[in-house]
Structure 1
Amino acid sequence: MKYLISWSESAIKDLNDLSEYITVIDNKDIAEKTFEGIILTVNDLNFFPERGRNVDEIKEFGGLDFKFLLYKRWKIIYKIYHELEAVSVLLVVDTSMDLQNILDRMIIDEKLNRY
């Protein structure tokens, strides 16, 4: 069964920011290879959505369907929607970043945007 993959606005922004950053600090070829590598890694989720590992920072809140994949030093966080046969890519972050802090800010932003 093939799962549909979607990208959140935040994940698209992360990917574009990452590409721009690598272009500045390294070069455009490396940025393009990184961009393509992340896309190919995510495309594997079409057939293997369970491939990633659980995100421990979310698991404690009952978020068992939140997982992550690694591509080099980049962590790709996604959520599985089994009933819809879909995967949503939520974030692409540097593995050196404090994921708990990022998730806390996302929760605060989400609550603020609801009201």
Structure 2
Amino acid sequence: MARNYKVLWAQAAEEDLKSIIEYICIDSPLAARDSLKKIKTKASNLCSFPQRGRIVPELKDQGIIQYRELIIPPWRMIYRIYEEQVYVLLVIDSRRNIEDVLLERLVRKK
């Protein structure tokens, strides 16, 4: 029998998503709604098969293999599986350098 995981959103990921949707909404509320639905659906689908995402390549190169990502063009949703939970940690523009984003987040937390 397949395990069901609970998908949880970190506050930072929720803020990322809010910023994305607000930005899109400036030009097209309909596109913003569709983007929100697409991202939320992809995240919700992780409850049945969280390993579907690849290990984040930039982190894998550093020996860090516990973080995975789904590509939802033009975004990357970074998450971590822990026991029976999937934690959505970031939703970022795929053109951004993940290392820069992580460094920026670490500095901002101080």
The counterpart of 2:7, out of the listed 5, 8, 12, is 5
Q: Structure 1: which 5+ runs fail to align? A: none
Structure 1 residue 61, shift from structure 2 partner: 4.4
What is the rounded CA distance, in whole Å, between the counterparts of 2:80 and 2:108 in structure 1? Answer: 18
Q: 1:22-101 to 2 correspondence within 5 Å?
A: 22-24=24-26, 26-81=27-82, 84-101=83-100
Q: Could you say which residue in structure 2 is the equivalent of 1:19?
A: 21
Structure 1 residue 18, shift from structure 2 partner: 0.4
Q: Deviations over 1:55-109 (max 9, x none)?
A: 122224443120000112111000111xx21110000001111111001223344
Q: Structure 2: which 5+ runs fail to align? A: none
Residue 46 of structure 2: SS of its match in structure 1?
helix
Q: TM-score when scaled to structure 1? A: 0.86
Which aligned segments of 4 or more residues in structure 1 are displaced greater than 4 angstroms?
none
Report % sequence identity. 32
Which amino acid is the alignment partner of residue 48 of structure 2? F
- Structure having the higher helix fraction is 1
Number of aligned residue pairs: 108
Q: TM-score when scaled to structure 2? A: 0.90
What is the rounded CA distance, in whole Å, between the counterparts of 1:23 and 1:50 in structure 2? Answer: 32
